[in-house]
Chain A
Amino acid sequence: MKFTLLSACALLLWSSCSFNDKINAVLPIYGSREPVTKTVNGKQVTDTVYQTIPDFEFVNQYGKTINRKSLDGSIYVADFFFTSCPSICPIMHRNMLKVYETFKNAANVKILSHSIDPNHDSVPVLKNYADKLGVTGDTWWFLQGKKESTYKLAESYLVAVQEDSKAAGGFVHSGYFILIDKQKRIRGTYDGTKPEDADKLIADIKTLQNEPQSMIAQ
């Protein structure tokens, strides 16, 4: 009898914990937002429109053009780097490799690394870099394009990038990983130089993968 009561209590505790987990498991939506009121079936409905990533066009390490549409239906992680970067890029991509290894066989997860030094990082240079990292297939794209468009895109990811002749390697950039959902909304930012942040990113991608369709439909 005592035992049954105890195990019942334990079960209750355990289930309440997992219930809390589920509530915490909804990721926030970052960026600016505005309410939009429209008339649906004669009723006034107010909806929130979230900031999304604008259209872009870049070339990946295979020489293929990649734009906003290439990411339809994909959760993706974006970062900014350059192949000759002597400072934080190696540690960022050591951490990103963990993310890549976890999701390289998942069809709906992609990684986009934007080069902020397109003059040096040509398509063959990016291909060589990807090869040396051991990256194959279409999960992790290394992108290059016009410098201005890359820098402008960084702004919409809420990331700072700029040229600075005084910084090591000639550029300053923050080492953030940005998590974007299937609706192209910002759902998380992670310090790419910290291994524990990479673990959090992996967990959050799994959360997004399990996000119910009703929440996705906006």
Chain B
Amino acid sequence: MKATIITMLLTAIICMVYSCQSEDQIEYMRYYTAGQDLYKTKCQNCHGAQGEGLAALIPPLTDSIYLKANSNKLACYVQNGLQLPILVKGKAFNGQMPPAGLSPIEIAQVLTYVKNSFGNNMGLYNVEKANQDLINCN
């Protein structure tokens, strides 16, 4: 009897955890696919279909170490553009990136896509995080 109850409880807990996870998964996929479309129209011309960039003119998006280290600055870069020289994959880039003209939710979507494509694996970047990061833009 006791064993049955424990088993039932355990099953219930497993089910709850599992359904929670899949909801996260659905949210992540929603961000990712919307971000993929935005990437194609707003970023791909310069950064390339594989995030490969262009020679020493346009930085690639494949440097996971750079993306992790600058994770909370990326939203500002997308919103306001970037003029500072940056060091990506050991190479200096000092061109200008124009502002992308995206809303905070779109920034979160496109960054979720970038952070989980081209060999990057950084998980969901939701609009709450984007809003937090955007407050701290210079």
- Contacting B55 at CB < 8 Å: which of A88, A91, A97, A168? A97
Could you tell me if A86 and B98 are in contact, using CB atoms closer than 8 angstroms? yes
Cα-based distance from A16 to B82 in the complex (angstroms): 58
CA distance in complex: A91, B42 (Å) = 12
- Once the chains bind, are B54 and A133 in contact (CB under 8 Å)? yes
Residues from chain B with a CB closer than 8 A to the CB of A133 are 54-57
Query: Is the Cβ of B45 less than 8 Å from the Cβ of A132?
Result: no
Q: Is the CB of A94 within 8 A of B54?
A: yes
A170 nearest CB across to chain B (Å): 12
A93 and B45 contact, CB distance less than 8 A: no
Task: Please state if B56 and A94 are interface contacts (CB–CB under 8 Å).
Answer: no
Which chain B residue lies CB-closest to A195?
B49
Contact between B48 and A94, CB atoms less than 8 A apart = yes
Residues of A close to B45: CB separation below 8 A: 87-88, 90-91, 193
Cross-interface CB contact of B57 among A86, A90, A168, A193, cutoff 8 Å = A90
For residue B57, which residue of chain A has the nearest CB? A132
Give the chain A neighbours of B56 by CB distance below 8 A. 131-134
Give B45-84 as 1s and 0s: 1 = Cβ < 8 Å from A's Cβ atoms. Answer: 1101000001111100000000000000000000000000
Q: Is the contact region of chain A dominated by helix, strand, or loop, or is it mixed?
A: helix
Distance, CA A97 to CA B53, complexed state (A):
13
Question: Which chain B residues (71-108) contact chain A, with CB distance < 8 Å?
Answer: 95-96, 98
Complex: A88 Cα to B95 Cα, angstroms = 16
Query: How many Å lie between the Cα of A97 and that of B46 in the bound state?
Result: 14
Closest to B45 in A: A91
A7 at the A/B interface (Cβ < 8 Å)? no
Q: Which residues of A are found within 8 Å of B48, using beta-carbon distances?
A: 91, 94
Q: Given that A90-B45, A90-B46, A94-B48 are contacting pairs, would A84 and B55 also be in contact in the complex, using a CB cutoff of 8 Å? A: no
Nearest CB in chain B to that of A169: its residue: B98
Q: How far is the CA of A5 from the CA of B44 in the complex (A)?
A: 54
Report the minimum CB–CB distance from B103 to chain A (whole Å). Answer: 18
Task: Write the nearest CB–CB distance from A162 to chain B, whole angstroms.
Answer: 20
Cβ contact of B96, chosen from A84, A93, A129, cutoff 8 A: A84
A6 to B51, CA, bound (A): 50
Contacts of A93 in B (CB 8 A): 54
Residues of B whose CB lies within 8 Å of any CB of A are: 44-46, 48, 54-58, 95-96, 98
- For this complex, 6 residue pairs linking A to B, each with C-beta atoms less than 8 Å apart, are A86-B98, A91-B45, A94-B48, A132-B56, A133-B54, A168-B98
